[in-house]
Structure 1
């Protein structure tokens, strides 16, 4: 115990020579319900379908210490190959959603798909609370897989927009991607879910256009 009668300068010196307390690394909020995957599955846009992507979301969340939640990837699915069409907006619950730092990024599905959402490079972070590289960073990994339109639905256009429903790692095909940092190129450069289409589905193809096969995860 430091005597109370000592001068402030002496007390300061005594305290500074002691063993400093090590600041604890902030853990993800227990009520985290939104994140970008810190890593992909390493096989391009072949995620094992939406089911495989959901499993990856759950694995990462649990590894970060967030348990007891059901996680779905923000991915749409096309009506091809015997699959039914699925809209990303219809599979992520009702909200609200918080990131790993406790920031509410959207209060509802409609809020998420409006200009009122709080998605940005600073808020669209990983399950560990880390920033994801954006435009201007090396490497740039701001292309986030979604397969979705601006309002979160599967595209009605002909052609591949989901890399064969998230089962392809080929140099051909395409997936619609968004920019988590809300900047860049494409038809909708500031869109978090529909900036442009990728040029291929392989890992190298996705990297070449500014991505790394990352995707959004929401607790439902």
Structure 2
């Protein structure tokens, strides 16, 4: 009887520790979050299967973070291409306001989001859906290039030169405009410090995105 009691006690203690470990592995829940930078890249470089696929990617990460009740949109533009009309990133993301996982206001509205002085995205505030910071240009691993395919005012680039990785269907040759979430660049001009329109990427596959200081990450906004 004593042996059986000890076995039962050991099993109970084991279950308690397993439960505690599982609880610790659960990601933080941020149901009030309305803005985040993706904590991970998409599965295929800049190929998200178009805008719809990028939106689903944002939605899936938001659900894991406890904010899936909202409708999430990727901050990406679409160029006029192959009969498809241009789509502006700024027109896809709702009216605001938007706040990060910690509740810090990012922008009150679309106008403030595209104002260099009223937009509050920085290294400290541009958090992922898990509440973590994205490595900035000051880190050994720099991931501050965020895919946008957009001009500084949130509009789509004109047709012609590919600046959206084939409207987010390419993983290889091509290019996409990226922004710097840390507002840092190689110079002090406004373009180099732009959160949404700093420079074109070197390519559309993940190695090319990494080479210029990115990782294929996206800005995600709650549109409702």
Q: What's the TM-score once normalised by structure 1's chain length? A: 0.85
Cα distance, 1:26 vs structure 2: 9.1
1:185–1:195: 8 Å Cα contact kept in structure 2?
Answer: no
Match of 2:213 in 1: 210
Runs of 4+ in 1 over 4 A off after TM superposition: none
**Do residues 65 (structure 1) and 70 (structure 2) align?**
no
> What is the aligned partner in structure 1 of residue 91 from structure 2?
90
Check the 8 A contact 2:101/2:130 in 1, yes or no. yes
CA-to-partner distance for each residue in 1:22-73, whole Å, 9 max, x for gaps? xx99934321000000001131111111111100101001011112100000
Contact 1:179/1:190 (<8 A) preserved: yes
- Count of aligned pairs: 196
Note closer, same or farther for the CA distance 1:26–1:202 as it changes in structure 2 (3 Å cut): closer
SS in 2 for 1:189: helix
2:43 is equivalent to residue 39 of structure 1: no
Residue 193 (structure 2) aligns with: 190
TM superposition shift of 1:79? 0.8
Q: Partner residue of 2:10?
A: none
Change (3 A) 1:164 1:26: closer
Map of 1:19 onto structure 2: none
Q: Runs of 5+ in structure 2 lacking a partner? A: 1-23
Contact kept? 2:79, 2:159, Cα under 8 Å? no
Q: How far does residue 165 in structure 1 lie from its aligned partner after superposition? A: 0.2
Tell me the TM-score normalized by structure 2: 0.84
- Name the structure with the higher helix share: 2
Q: For the residues of structure 2 that align with 1:218 and 1:169, how far apart are their CA atoms?
A: 24
RMSD: 1.7
The unaligned stretches of length 5 or more in structure 1 are 1-23
Q: What's the CA shift for 1:156?
A: 2.1
